[in-house]
Amino acid sequence: MAGLLELERVTAGYGGGDILHELDLSVEDGGITCIVGPNGAGKSTILRVVSGLLRPRLGAIRFRGASIVGLTPRAILQRGIVQVPQERSLFPTMTVWENVRMGAYTERDQRLIDRRLEEVCEAFTVVRERRDEPAASLSGGQQKIVEFARALMLDPALVILDEPSMGLDPKTRSTVFETIRAMNRAGRTILLVEQNARSGLGLASHGVVLESGRVRLEGDGPAVLNNPEISRLYLGATA
């Protein structure tokens, strides 16, 4: 069965040479797909070609069966693919509420925006409780969750998260992963990139190990996590 998002033989780079080499990737509808791999493997580059920030040199990218290669980032957003970037991306002096509202910037229908605001307030306690405070006053983990809330304002079918747990302490990290699980249960398909292989693959219905722009191994999340070679490479000898 075809995935919600399909990459087929995608080759892409930045001018200095190719970073992704004939990459095939399928993101199953309704699942959590997690890409792990070392720094510089090309994980964020995959996300950039999907969101239209980088055009692949070769290959096909299909969303719901239709090509999205060459569409603008805005057009891709409007098709239902929303990305939460690796770095912090809230406007620090704006309030939580204003930041979340910005997520709906391509939406004109005010009643629809209001209804979605209500929904994210319902789903994310921190948005409800801290709505009038500047984003910069929140902890790193809280800010990440507000970024998730902002991403849901366009009611996306596919939510792409680039290393959401980066820089968070273990307790906050588990809150963030719990939130990802809840978004998935609420019907969002998730494509996740994660340095923390154990947490990421533990959550995933499908796991992909990327090395030097190529798929090294893939399978269902727990199978990849329990692969002896992967344990040795990514989880340390004691795993």
Ligand X SMILES: Nc1ncnc2c1ncn2[C@@H]1O[C@H](COP(=O)(O)OP(=O)(O)OP(=O)(O)O)[C@@H](O)[C@H]1O
**Between residues 39 and 238, which has the closer beta carbon with respect to ligand X?**
39
Give 148's contacts (C-beta < 8 A, 6+ positions apart).
Answer: 84, 124, 159, 161, 164, 179, 180, 183
Residue 138 sits in the site that holds ligand X (CB under 6 A)? no
**Between residues 38 and 134, which has the closer beta carbon with respect to ligand X?**
38
With the C-alpha atoms ordered 142, 144, 147, 148, is the resulting torsion angle positive or negative?
Answer: negative
Q: Which does 228 bind (CB under 5 to 8 A by kind): Mg ion, ligand X, none?
A: none
Site for Mg ion in 38-67 (CB under 5 A): 43-44
Stretch of residues binding ligand X (CB under 6 A), selected from 35-43, 59-67, 150-158, 216-224: 35-43
Shortest separation between residue 32's beta carbon and ligand X, angstroms: 18
**Between residues 131 and 216, which has the closer beta carbon with respect to ligand X?**
216
Shortest separation between residue 1's beta carbon and Mg ion, angstroms: 29
Kindly tell me which residue out of 11, 21, 44, 128 binds ligand X, with binding defined by CB under 6 A.
44
Residue 51 sits in the site that holds ligand X (CB under 6 A)? no
Residues that bind Mg ion (rule: CB under 5 A) add up to a total of: 2
Shortest separation between residue 41's beta carbon and Mg ion, angstroms: 8
Shortest separation between residue 181's beta carbon and ligand X, angstroms: 22
**Between residues 14 and 105, which has the closer beta carbon with respect to ligand X?**
14
Q: Which residues bind Mg ion (CB under 5 A)?
A: 43-44
Q: Which residues bind ligand X (CB under 6 A)?
A: 14, 16, 19, 37, 39-45, 86, 195
